[in-house]
C-alpha cells in the first residue's frame, strides 16, 4: 500500500480571500497559545489539589488578587471566544443551507455573533471590575 498524500485544498473560492487566510492563520496561532492556557486552567481547576471540590468565591478572589491570573484569564477568554466563534462560523457556513427567502445561515451567524460579543463583554467586565469585598 502506498502512502497517501494530500492534494491541494479543495474548498471553494471563499477561502481565497485575505480574510479567510488570516482566519486560518489565527486558528493555528491562537490554538497553540490556548493549548497552554486552557490545559493549564483545567489542570489547576479540575485536577490538582482537590480539583473542582475546592472552588468557591474565596478561591476565585484569591486567584484574581494576582495580576498574573487576571491576565491569564483575560487572554484565555478572548482567544477562546474568538477561536471558538470562528470555528462555529466555519461550521455554520459549511452546513446551514442558503435557501432564497429563508436566510437560515444569516440568522445562525447573527445569533452566534451576538452571543459571542455578549459573553466576551460580560467576561471582560467581570475580570476588570471584580470586587472581593462584595456582598
User: Using alpha carbons only, how large is the chain's radius of gyration in Å?
Assistant: 20
Does position 117 interact with another protein (CB under 8 A)? The reply is no
How many whole angstroms separate alpha carbon 2 and alpha carbon 67? Answer: 54
For residue 32, state whether it binds another protein (rule: CB under 8 A): yes
We find the least distance from the C-beta atom of residue 18 to another protein, in angstroms, to be: 18
Q: Which three cell numbers stand for residue 7?
A: 492534494
Position among 1, 13, 18, 56 found at the interface with another protein (CB under 8 A): 56
C-beta of 102: minimal distance to another protein in Å?
Answer: 22
In the bound state with another protein, the residue whose beta carbon lies nearer, of 18 and 56, is 56
| Region of residue 13 (left: phi > 0; alpha: psi -120 to 50; beta: else) | alpha
Kindly state whether residue 62 participates in binding another protein, applying the rule CB under 8 A: no
79 binding another protein? (CB under 8 A): no
Q: Give the side-chain half-sphere CA count within 13 A for 3.
A: 2
Amino acid at each position: 500500500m502506498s502512502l497517501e498524500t494530500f492534494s491541494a485544498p479543495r474548498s471553494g473560492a471563499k477561502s481565497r480571500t485575505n480574510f479567510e487566510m488570516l482566519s486560518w492563520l489565527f486558528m493555528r496561532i491562537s490554538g497553540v497559545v490556548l493549548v497552554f492556557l486552557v490545559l493549564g486552567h483545567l489542570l489547576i481547576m479540575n485536577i490538582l489539589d482537590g480539583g473542582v471540590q475546592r472552588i468557591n468565591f474565596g478561591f476565585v478572589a484569591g486567584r484574581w488578587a494576582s495580576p498574573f491570573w487576571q491576565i491569564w484569564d483575560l487572554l484565555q477568554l478572548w482567544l477562546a471566544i474568538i477561536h471558538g466563534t470562528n470555528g462555529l462560523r466555519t461550521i455554520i457556513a459549511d452546513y446551514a443551507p442558503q435557501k432564497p427567502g429563508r436566510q437560515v445561515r444569516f440568522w445562525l451567524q447573527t445569533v452566534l455573533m451576538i452571543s459571542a460579543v455578549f459573553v466576551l463583554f460580560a467576561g471582560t467586565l467581570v475580570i476588570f471590575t471584580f470586587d472581593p469585598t462584595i456582598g
